[in-house]
Structure 1
Amino acid sequence: MKSTIKDVARLANVSISTVSRVLNNPEIVVPEKREKVLEAIQRLHYSPNALARGLIHKRTQTLGVLIPDISNLFYSAVLRGMEDAAHRSGNNLIICNTDNNRERRSSILSVLNEKQIDGVVWTSEPVDSGSYELFGKFGFPVVLAATHSLEFELPSVKIDEEQAAYDAAEYLIRRGHTRIGMISGPAADPISGHPRIRGFLRALDDYGIEGDAQSNIEYGKYHFENSYTAMSKLYAKLPDMTAVFASSDERALAAISFLHDNRIKVPDDISVISFDNTRMAGMSTPRLTAVAQPLYDIGYLAVAKLIGLINGEPPQQLRTYVAHSIVERDSVSDRGAGGF
């Protein structure tokens, strides 16, 4: 039978309130009694009830994490960073898959509120007004990871999406490519769609490369099948392209698969650069050159910022932008002498 706080008090010959003080504020208990209680706890293998301790401190040491699609490899590294930060601060995570569905998000937030979580990390998706109203209604702090909100004053951690896409296109241009296509998420996506499209087109314009959204970009959902179709449409309207910027690793793998099926060699005929640098980027053939997001750091810093809010510490930066980089592998080759 599991030992109770009463058993500890009886064995240590102290009151239940003394045991409680040893568990929660040991510094105020005289050393002699504190040692007797700790010895009793060890002998009885007593484990304090987490819910009861949560009621005392008005915390559950539990954080909610909302993720649009748990099957996406992007989130494995982000979650690893979150989990490490949570563990280090004595917290646990409840991971919730929203399936990019507004009603489901609202339902999840309500359930998390019922479970009296201490705070929420909201990942990747834009924040709509309905969700923001729920944040205020439930009163828990929220930090955004791999997304941000310019409409609402919510702390966030992410990269500069537009600049990262600009750097991807510039990398191809500096390798000598002047006919460059892009397969992208929906243009209306304010997080990973529109900013990356804007960065790509800005790089073409800055370097005097011919191209526009209609001729050089094909859009679709982020899944492999949708991206394969997008790549086929892009190749049909831009058959002389020598390079493709895919706005995620999964899209890049779909592009390579299409090219392989049509006997087009990568990178000899068409180079491919991807975005994210998840584990799959180093597993493909050829291995992907990619814009790397510091996924672990995004997750870790988001939880660390949330813990600070829970502890009453305002963030030093409302919107934190972490540095991206380009990881060179095998999917991009030089085309001509370049000249830039």
Structure 2
Amino acid sequence: MKRITIYDVAKEADVSLATVSRVINGSEVVREDTRVKVQEAIEKLGYKPNAIAQGLALQKTTTIALIVPEASFFYTGQIINGLIDVAKIYKYNIVLHTATEGIIEMNDIIETIIKSRVDGVVIFNDKLSKNELNTLTRYQVPIVVIGNKMSDDTIGSVYVDYSKLVYDFTTKYLNKGITDIALVEDRKNPAMIKQLFDGISRAFADAGKSFDNYIEIPKDYRSSYLFLQEYFKSHKHELVITYRDSQAMAVLNTAAENNIRIPEDMEVVCILDSKYNAMARPQISGFKIPDYDLGAVAMRVMTKMLHDEDEVIDKEIELSYIYSPRKSTK
């Protein structure tokens, strides 16, 4: 079947290509009778304007760039689904950029984004420095950050307050008299670990205590598992908090190898819940994060920033979470 083009519409309506382009892009310089004639030709032929060509005429690309750190890619599936579903509603295209630490420099990604003339940028987690964010804001490119709370004239954010989450959780344990609480370092997610560390430290401070059990993974160990094998030979805590499921499983396995029973001798909690937590033995307690909603709401914030809607735009939107207790806690 022949693809209908703008040339076919111009021929059918007996007008110039420029006139068809003006009608498609809502120009007010076209006479009403001519506009009706072009619109009738479009409907008769079933012509669908090319989004990219239409965007260029409007100095817009109808494209949103999404930056996802490669280390976090496994956890972003539902976030991307939510973002794409809302993007479809508002007729935006999504172009994915992955950032690989030490291989693909963030400045290179930013330069590519600016050259491609995208309408906006969505970033999963704050992997950009303030200077790099300022590079984008100088070009007046709207940005929505998923994961961290931050905003200004051209930056919005959709996030879960992990610091408050772990603060509330730690406080409950401290109120029960459980003070031997440890946090395992995650070298792949330093920004997130800082939030968790700050939340736990604040809970201890409010209880008149100091938090001292931060389990750092030495750089000469290739994985948390290898270090924890040695660590639990001489250490045991009442509660161990990890960020990712793989680290929680490393704690379970290395504890078992050292005859530490879960949860009788030591409880384990994984902040970022996943389907694998329910597959582990014992099943791992965790927090269900609204990942689909993070993507969907981020895209909705972006559309509001792009279209300058009359309503006041809330550029810092906090989403809630649900604690899922399982067999790794008492």
Same fold (TM over 0.5): yes
User: Which position in structure 2 is the counterpart of 1:338?
Assistant: none
- Identify the residue that residue 25 of structure 1 maps to in structure 2: 26
Q: For 1:123-134, list aligned pairs within 5 A.
A: 123-134=124-135
Q: 1: CA distance between counterparts of 2:113 and 2:253?
A: 41
Q: 1:74-223 residue pairs with structure 2 within 5 A?
A: 74-101=75-102, 104-149=105-150, 154-173=155-174, 177-185=178-186, 189=190, 191-207=191-207, 212-213=211-212, 216-220=213-217
The more displaced of 8-17 and 146-155 is 146-155
Is residue 228 of structure 2 the alignment partner of residue 231 of structure 1?
yes
Instruction: Identify unmatched segments of 5+ residues in structure 1.
Output: 334-340
CA RMSD of aligned residues (A): 3.4
How far is 1:206 from its partner? 4.1
Q: By how many angstroms is 1:60 displaced?
A: 0.9
Q: Which residue of 2 aligns with 1:50?
A: 51
For each residue in 1:54-78, what CA deviation from the matched residue of structure 2 results, as whole angstroms up to 9, or x when unmatched? 1122111111111112664321222
Distance 1:150 1:306, change over 3 A: closer
Residue 325 (structure 1) aligns with: 322
After superposition, the Cα gap between the structure-2 partners of 1:312 and 1:114, relative to the gap in structure 1 and judged at 3 Å, is same
Match of 2:60 in 1: 59
The answer to whether structure 1 residue 254 and structure 2 residue 253 are counterparts is: no
Deviation readout 1:67-94 (Å, 9 max, x if unpaired): 1126643212222222222122111111
Q: Return the offset for 1:33.
A: 2.4
Q: Does 1:40 align with 2:44?
A: yes
Question: In the alignment, what sits opposite 1:337?
Answer: none
Look up the SS of the partner of 2:223 in the other structure: helix
The answer for the alignment partner of 1:283 in structure 2 is 279
For residue 286 of structure 2, give the secondary structure of its aligned residue in structure 1: strand
- Structure 2 SS opposite 1:192: helix
| Amino acid corresponding to residue 59 of structure 2 in structure 1 | K
Structure 1 residue identity aligned to 2:239: A
SS of the aligned residue for 2:91 comes to coil
Q: In the alignment, is the contact (CA less than 8 A) between 2:301 and 2:315 conserved in 1?
A: no
**Alpha-carbon distance in structure 1 between the residues aligned to 2:15 and 2:118:** 33
Residues in 2 aligned to 1:156 and 1:139: alpha-carbon distance in whole angstroms: 16
- Contact 1:168-1:326 within 8 A present in 2 as well: no
Between the two proteins, what is the percent identity of the paired residues? 23
The separation in 1 between residues aligned to 2:303 and 2:152, in whole angstroms, is 23
Amino acid paired to 1:11: E
1:305–1:315 Cα contact (<8 Å) kept: no
1:197 to partner: Cα distance: 0.9
- Equivalents in 2 of 1:322, 1:71: separation in Å? 19
Counterpart Cα distance in 2 of 1:249 and 1:16? 57
Specify every segment of 5 or more residues in structure 2 that has no aligned partner in the other structure, as ranges. none
What per-residue deviation string (whole Å, max 9, x for no partner) do you get for residues 6-57 of structure 1?
Answer: 1222234454345435533399855862563134322xxx442333211122
Q: 1:22·1:29 contact (CA, 8 Å) conserved in 2?
A: no
Deviation at 1:316, TM superposition (A): 2.9
Using the alignment, how far apart are the partners of 2:54 and 2:324 within structure 1?
Answer: 47
Query: Is the 2:268–2:328 Cα contact (8 Å) retained in structure 1?
Result: yes
Letter in 1 for 2:148: T
Paired with 1:231 and 1:110, the residues of 2 have a C-alpha distance of 41
CA-to-aligned-CA distance 1:267-306 (integer Å, 9 cap, x gap):
2332211112233333333332113332222222222212
Output the amino acid matched with 1:36.
E
**Offset at residue 235 of structure 1 (A):** 2.6
Quick check: 1:303 aligned with 2:302? no
1:292 to 288, 291, 295: 288
SS at match of 1:326: strand
Could you say what secondary structure the match of 2:110 adopts?
helix
TM-score w.r.t. length of structure 1: 0.80
CA distance in 2, matches of 1:262, 1:72: 33
Whole-angstrom distance in 1 between the partners of 2:22 and 2:13: 14
Equivalent-residue separation in structure 1 for 2:163 and 2:49 (angstroms) = 49
TM-score (normalizing by structure 2): 0.83
